[in-house]
Amino acid sequence: MTKKCDWDDVGLEKGLEQCEIETGFYFSRAFGGKAVINSNDPAIVSRLVNCNFFEIENYRTENQGRKQILVYVDGTIPIGAINIGKPRASDSINKVVKAPKKVYTEAEKKKNRELIAKRLKGNAG
């Protein structure tokens, strides 16, 4: 589960060139079944913070106007959540992390987890 963090939105760090927008992941048997992921790509960052399995280790925000904008995260995710196989129909970077772009509130996340738990027990909601 991600940590509760203080930001208003996810966005691109000011001054970055297109070639500087990156996402990387690394895994090793020494990490105990976890992969390390880091990204400053807003499309990936927004999905990572919504992924129930992603654990934020570090993040960076910057002030943009009156908002605190999340511009970078790194953390871990179970290796079992990574799937490399047949290519998708689209090469869109947005599709790499299978989580919604919308940044959910803690209350919305709790409600979603309760609904999933109910469905897993065979009580479709």
- pTM for the model stands at 0.69
**Conformational region of residue 44, where left means phi above 0, alpha means psi within -120 to 50, and beta covers everything else:** alpha
**Conformational region of residue 110, where left means phi above 0, alpha means psi within -120 to 50, and beta covers everything else:** alpha
Q: What is the pLDDT of residues 54-72, one digit of tens each?
A: 999 999 999 999 999 999 9
Dihedral angle sign, alpha carbons of residues 24, 35, 109, 90: positive
**Mean pLDDT computed over 38-47:** 93
pLDDT at residue 37 in the model: 94
